[in-house]
Amino acid sequence: MTILNRNGMKTAQTVLKWFFISLGVIFLIVNILAITPAPFYMHRSLGEDSARKSDSVNDFHPDYIIMFGGAGMPSESNLIRLYVTSEVATKLSKPVILVHPEDSVCQVEMTRYLANNGVPAGSIIYMTRGSNTRSQSVCLVDSFPQLKNASALIVTAPEHLSRTLKCLRKCGMRNIYGIGAFESTVEFDLTLNKQKLKGNKFVPDVESTNIRYTYWNYLKLEIICFREYFATAYYWLKGWI
């Protein structure tokens, strides 16, 4: 028993040792990536539809514009998607299908936002069935079977675009293109430029925007991208894409 206990303790110690080493390696890799442009390009690649031959929506004339909703209203994820959807819908004058879990408050607010931005309320259709991208894609095609033979422009969050398009194509929608609802980058000067900030003079001002903003933003993008990679892998294993 003593020998077995010792062997068991050694095994447990070895497992813990390699577990913490692995965590350290992951932590190191994540931080190294955060000081490079890699997270930006990772996120950008998820939000670009490789099938689109042009960035101009005028080169594609869809029968429908389909927006996959995000959180509640108002929320950052929904507002940016609605903004892009309204921009495209007013240019192309096409009906909009909003894919969003059933919620009377959200539906009213989302419809109001689009209507206030020039989208006719009568051209807005809701699909409220499904609770994840796979189930929503299946329910969308079941609810609107004409979509299999129609063309559609898909609007969703950049990190979800690739997986959403793959789900829809798996459900039989072939003539579809996607737009990731990217945020616009700021173009004004964020450096301190020796501004008089006062405060504790013995603590130096952090002049570098890479330390103040970019590093932390890229860390957040890494989490978003890695989460999406895991989700895509899961969908692939399930045979959903």
Residue-wise pLDDT for 3-12, tens only, equals 656 666 777 7
Confidence (pLDDT) at 106:
84
Residues 167-176 pLDDT 10s: 999 999 989 9
CB atoms within 10 A of CB 85: 27
What CATH number is associated with residue 137? Answer: 3.40.50.620
Q: Tell me, yes or no, whether 92 lies in a domain.
A: yes
Predicted confidence band of residue 214 (pLDDT cuts 50, 70, 90): confident
Q: Tell me, yes or no, whether 64 lies in a domain.
A: yes
Confidence (pLDDT) at 8:
65
Confidence (pLDDT) at 5:
65
Of 5-14, 204-213, 228-237, the one with minimum mean pLDDT is 204-213
Average pLDDT over residues 190-196: 63
Q: Tell me, yes or no, whether 86 lies in a domain.
A: yes
Domain with 83, as residue range(s), is 54-180
Q: How many domains, in total, are found in the chain?
A: 1
Q: Tell me, yes or no, whether 119 lies in a domain.
A: yes
**pTM reported for the whole predicted model:** 0.82
Q: Tell me, yes or no, whether 39 lies in a domain.
A: no
Of 15-24, 33-42, 188-197, 208-217, the one with minimum mean pLDDT is 188-197
Average pLDDT over residues 217-233: 93
Q: Examine the pLDDT at 200 and tell me if it is beyond 80.
A: no
Q: Tell me, yes or no, whether 10 lies in a domain.
A: no
Average pLDDT over residues 204-225: 76
Q: Examine the pLDDT at 232 and tell me if it is beyond 70.
A: yes
Q: Which residue type is seen at 1?
A: M
Tell me, rounded to whole angstroms, the distance of Cα 223 from its chain centroid.
Answer: 11
Q: Tell me, yes or no, whether 154 lies in a domain.
A: yes
Confidence (pLDDT) at 209:
58
Q: Tell me, yes or no, whether 132 lies in a domain.
A: yes
Residues 99-142 pLDDT 10s: 988 876 888 899 999 999 999 988 999 998 888 999 999 999 99
> What's the mean per-residue pLDDT of the chain?
84
Predicted confidence band of residue 196 (pLDDT cuts 50, 70, 90): low
Predicted confidence band of residue 43 (pLDDT cuts 50, 70, 90): very high
